[in-house]
Chain A
Amino acid sequence: AQSVTQLDSQVPVFEEAPVELRCNYSSSVSVYLFWYVQYPNQGLQLLLKYLSGSTLVKGINGFEAEFNKSQTSFHLRKPSVHISDTAEYFCAVSTTLYGKLTFGQGTILTVHP
């Protein structure tokens, strides 16, 4: 079975500052990795995904993430955040075989003016 740990439950930052949301996973088989964003009272929107190939993945809204197999991490980064980035972010992993997603606990990003 796989598991996902998001190391920070809340991350407050000021507008235009860089941000990193941390995600570590555990799995005995190959995995696909995802970051989703959830705005209040809404479903999840896919930010980016790692399936194979380049370990640096670029997504929507200026976000990117780097897959580090040796450290079993998939941290999400943005060089300069906006107020509109305030939301909850979920890291998720699925096995290549079955595709069931396992989610981390979520990180609430709050961007202050």
Chain B
Amino acid sequence: GAVVSQHPSWVICKSGTSVKIECRSLDFQATTMFWYRQFPKQSLMLMATSNEGSKATYEQGVEKDKFLINHASLTLSTLTVTSAHPEDSSFYICSARLGTSGSLNTQYFGPGTRLTVL
């Protein structure tokens, strides 16, 4: 149980284009999804917290107009990198959480999406 998928797993795009990444909880409903980015040989940095039906909460320093997050249902959240530039190249990982109390407050991670902007 608690499987999270991401699509695509790998994407290459030209500078200036937009890229959409999907995150799905396959066997549970996630009240909250999180988006992280990970640079090579570094830890995960939280970008934003996404709650179903409401606006995402962005971490300090993350441009909300550049990284658009939509959490339209309890099983799907999308991250759109708008007008991508080479410095946006990174490994983007999402996670999903069942709830906030006790054992529900555990994040399950997707396999990640590697974005390369040329």
Contact of B6 among A43, A46, A51, A101 (CB under 8 A): A43
Dominant SS at the B interface? strand
In the complex, what distance in Å separates the CA atom of A52 from the CA atom of B46?
A: 25
Q: Do B110 and A43 have beta carbons less than 8 Å apart? A: yes
Q: How many of B's residues come within 8 Å of A, CB to CB? A: 24
Q: Is the CB of B43 closer than 8 A to any CB of chain A?
A: yes
In the complex, what distance in Å separates the CA atom of A88 from the CA atom of B46?
A: 18
Q: Is the CB of A70 closer than 8 A to any CB of chain B?
A: no
Q: Do B44 and A103 have beta carbons less than 8 Å apart? A: yes
User: Interface size class for chain A?
Assistant: 20 to 34
In the complex, what distance in Å separates the CA atom of A105 from the CA atom of B42?
A: 7
**Do A101 and B107 contact each other (CB < 8 Å), given the known contacts A43-B93, A90-B44?**
yes
Q: Is the CB of B114 closer than 8 A to any CB of chain A?
A: yes
Q: Which residues of B contact A44 (CB under 8 A)?
A: 44, 93, 95, 109
User: What are 25 residue pairs bridging A and B, where the CB atoms are less than 8 Å apart in the complex?
Assistant: A34-B106, A34-B107, A41-B114, A42-B111, A42-B112, A43-B4, A43-B6, A43-B93, A43-B112, A44-B95, A45-B109, A46-B108, A46-B109, A49-B106, A51-B105, A52-B102, A90-B43, A94-B105, A99-B97, A100-B34, A101-B46, A104-B43, A105-B43, A106-B42, A106-B43
